[in-house]
Chains A and B, each alone.
Chain A
Amino acid sequence: DTEVTQTPKHLVMGMTNKKSLKCEQHMGHRAMYWYKQKAKKPPELMFVYSYEKLSINESVPSRFSPECPNSSLLNLHLHALQPEDSALYLCASSQDSVRVAEAFFGQGTRLTVV
Chain B
Amino acid sequence: SQQGEEDPQALSIQEGENATMNCSYKTSINNLQWYRQNSGRGLVHLILIRSNEREKHSGRLRVTLDTSKKSSSLLITASRAADTASYFCATDAQGGGADGLTFGKGTHLIIQP
Contacts and interface: CB of A to CB of B under 8 A. Distances in A.
Nearest to B1: A44
B102 interface: yes
Which of B92, B99, B103 has most chain A Cβ within 10 Å?
B99
Contacts of B94: 99
Contact of A108 (B41, B45, B98): B41
Interface string A41-79: 111110010100001101000000000000000000000
Interface residues of B, number: 24
Interface in A1-58: 4, 31, 33, 37, 39, 41-45, 48, 50, 55-56, 58
Given A42-B88, A90-B42, A104-B45, A99 B104 contact: no
Contact of B98 (A48, A100, A102, A105): A48
Interface string A84-109: 00001010100001111111111110
Interface in B6-46: 30-31, 33, 35, 40-45
A32 B92 CA distance: 15
Contacts of A101: 48
A56 B101 CA distance: 12
B43 to A, nearest CB: 4
Contacts of B103: 42-44
Contact of B100 (A33, A37, A100, A108): A33
A52 B45 CA distance: 23
Interface of B: 2, 30-31, 33, 35, 40-45, 48, 88, 92, 94, 98-106
Interface of A: 4, 31, 33, 37, 39, 41-45, 48, 50, 55-56, 58, 88, 90, 92, 97-108, 110
